[in-house]
Structure 1
Amino acid sequence: MLLTLIGVVATAYLALLGALWWGQERLLFEPEPLPADHVFAFGADVHELSIDRPGGTRLNALHLRLPDPHGIVFYLHGNAGNLQAWFAHADFYRQAGYDLFMLDYRGFGKSGGRIGSEAELRDDARAAWQQIAPLYPPGKVRVIAGRSLGSGLAAGLAAELQPDLTVLISPYRSMAALAAQHYPWVPGALLRYPLDTEALAPRIGGPCLLVHGDQDSLIPPAHSAALAARLPQARHVRIPGAAHGDVQDFPTFRATVRSALDAAAAGLQPTRQTLSMLVPPG
């Protein structure tokens, strides 16, 4: 009886691991598609465009274009949702005087295909950047930003491009480290998307801002602290009272990001500092 029970449990465990291996894209990314005829209504200065990828896959993106911007914020969004929700904060960048570009990953929104590997994700982000980069010659500020899931992609792109500013919002050390916290019973070798931000961080040479809610239970703020210790020029700001999904709603968050964008536009080069902001939330 005992051996039978052990066999049943072992079989169930292996079956669960198999399901996690084959189904981890849905668990990690949670894509939400939109119909092909969906119309985005974010203003006349927001343009919809496509990025063509090998194999006929076409990715959808939105591009806020101002008459004379300081530069571009190339923003890689988090998991779940799509551009309809993620682009809703475009006014913040309008007021800061920056263009905003945002891509929907494969299977998200109106983007075709489905995510198949980390390398493919990174290649898609790189291709999107290469398509718009000629619009921002020297003299225009280039900002690479990423939030949550997108922070790992943003760190990789920033390590390649060395932008004027990198902004990582609610970042993680690596997807493997995050999975080990939430699912310690799952072998690390099962993860096909390691997204190792910690390994990439030392290669980001320019100013970097890390912003994290101090009540974030999904990606604990200790992840930002660990990354800040490895970044050559990092400013680490914790937003009191903010969790994972609401950090953008706090005035402290908006003021922090706006200050970094203003400094980049003014040509300032912030020195390395790691901060915990001890001001009242909201």
Structure 2
Amino acid sequence: MANRTQRLLLKLMLLSWLAAVSGCSSLFFYPDNTVYITPDRLELDYQDIYLDTADGERLHGWWIPATTEASGTVYFLHGNAQNISSHLLNVAWLPKEGYNVFMIDYRGYGQSTGAPDIEGALHDSEIGLRWLVDAKAGESPFFMLGQSLGGGLSIMLASEWVQREEQPPLAGVILDSAFAGFRDIAREKLDGFWLTWLFQAPLSWTIPDDYEGIDHIARISPVPVMITHSVRDGIIPFHHGQDLYDAAREPKRFLQTDTPHAGTFVIPAYRQAVMAFMEDAAGGEHDQ
């Protein structure tokens, strides 16, 4: 019995050490390089885009033009698993509705080099946005759509873009199935697993508190924000969407959905609601 207890304690100490040295990154990043589907399989034109980072990594993305006259451009930041090819269906409907789409893989995902971490993903998301506004300056208005992990990245990127008065201004930000903060969701997930329950506080502290979206989302105003979250989300609980909405400033909009995690855009009515938001945001005026 004593040996069994010692082995259990050793495992707990090892788990604690691994999480501490990795900054709990394993909670956020589950990349692979499998190609699940490409835009041409969905009868969409596309262009492979490769972007070099200042720290020597190379990022891969897809530029997918609208199939009709473009009403705007959507910069899509995907969730934490797999790569852009597995998330394509979340935005493949947009080109047929008149929106260009640009999506990238963070470092370590798909064809992008490197190893994923929070600071790297934040850096990569900004590189993608800067390429988009420089290379496609005539394709505005620009919208940002972040899903799950991509929602957390979108809050940080959009708030900095607005506060620095970068040009062109964002027309709107859509956050789907996003969490209130990196440290917040890490602690919540650690709390839900018996092996890590005891260590939820010290392990979550390995994540810098600079990246809590709930502390930054108000800074996106006056750019309109739309938050969508499902009451059946089994990955990021519904209260995260509510908390983000409460912390955001006007103009803001909340869409309560009823699908599994990140399944919002399977439902035509939810797609229509997001398009209505983008049309309203593009037609309105906000000063930065």
How would you bin the TM-score normalised by the shorter chain?
Answer: 0.7 to 0.9
SS for the counterpart of 2:260 is coil
Partner residue in 1 for 2:281:
264
Change (3 A) 1:189 1:136: farther
Partner residue in 1 for 2:165:
none
Compute the displacement of 1:258 (Å): 1.5
**What is the alpha-carbon distance in structure 1 between the residues aligned to residue 45 and residue 271 of structure 2?**
22
Partner residue in 1 for 2:248:
231
**What is the alpha-carbon distance in structure 2 between the residues aligned to residue 143 and residue 160 of structure 1?**
15
Compute the displacement of 1:43 (Å): 4.4
Q: Is the 8 A contact 1:171 1:212 kept in 2?
A: yes
Q: Does 1:249 align with 2:266?
A: yes
Compute the displacement of 1:193 (Å): 4.2
Compute the displacement of 1:179 (Å): 2.5
> Which of 189, 201, 214 is the equivalent residue of 1:188?
201
Q: CA RMSD in A?
A: 2.6
1:16-61 CA-partner distances (Å, limit 9, x unpaired): 11122345434421101147xx976354631111011134321100
For 2:15, the aligned partner's letter is L
- Where do 1:81-92 residues align within 5 Å? 81-92=82-93
- Where do 1:66-81 residues align within 5 Å? 66=66, 68-81=69-82
Change (3 A) 1:245 1:151: closer
SS for the counterpart of 1:183 is helix
Partner residue in 2 for 1:12:
11
**What is the alpha-carbon distance in structure 2 between the residues aligned to residue 26 and residue 264 of structure 1?**
36
**What is the alpha-carbon distance in structure 2 between the residues aligned to residue 189 and residue 70 of structure 1?**
47
**What is the alpha-carbon distance in structure 2 between the residues aligned to residue 27 and residue 177 of structure 1?**
12
**What is the alpha-carbon distance in structure 1 between the residues aligned to residue 46 and residue 207 of structure 2?**
32
- Where do 1:127-146 residues align within 5 Å? 127-137=127-137, 140-146=140-146
1:170-193 CA-partner distances (Å, limit 9, x unpaired): 011112222232322133342444
**What is the alpha-carbon distance in structure 1 between the residues aligned to residue 171 and residue 190 of structure 2?**
37
1:77-105 CA-partner distances (Å, limit 9, x unpaired): 00112121212344421133111110111
Task: Single out whichever of 77-86 and 241-250 deviates more from structure 2.
Answer: 241-250
Partner residue in 2 for 1:61:
61
For 2:31, the aligned partner's letter is P
Q: Is the 8 A contact 2:75 2:145 kept in 1?
A: yes
Q: Is the 8 A contact 1:159 1:200 kept in 2?
A: yes
Q: Does 1:207 align with 2:220?
A: no
Partner residue in 1 for 2:110:
109
For 2:88, the aligned partner's letter is F
SS for the counterpart of 2:94 is helix
1:125-153 CA-partner distances (Å, limit 9, x unpaired): 11111112124448821111100011010
Q: Is the 8 A contact 2:178 2:229 kept in 1?
A: yes
Q: Is the 8 A contact 1:263 1:269 kept in 2?
A: no
**What is the alpha-carbon distance in structure 2 between the residues aligned to residue 230 and residue 168 of structure 1?**
13
- Where do 1:18-29 residues align within 5 Å? 18-22=17-21, 24-29=24-29
Q: Does 1:150 align with 2:168?
A: no
Q: Is the 8 A contact 2:146 2:174 kept in 1?
A: yes
Q: Does 1:198 align with 2:210?
A: no
Compute the displacement of 1:156 (Å): 0.8
What is the percent sequence identity of the aligned residues? 23
1:211-239 CA-partner distances (Å, limit 9, x unpaired): 01111121111111111111112211111
Which runs of no fewer than 5 residues in structure 2 stay unpaired?
A: 163-169, 192-196
Q: Is the 8 A contact 1:144 1:157 kept in 2?
A: no
Partner residue in 1 for 2:47:
47
**What is the alpha-carbon distance in structure 2 between the residues aligned to residue 51 and residue 114 of structure 1?**
16
Task: Single out whichever of 175-184 and 71-80 deviates more from structure 2.
Answer: 175-184
SS for the counterpart of 1:99 is strand
SS for the counterpart of 1:172 is coil
Partner residue in 1 for 2:194:
none
Change (3 A) 1:96 1:188: farther
TM-score, scaled to structure 2: 0.82
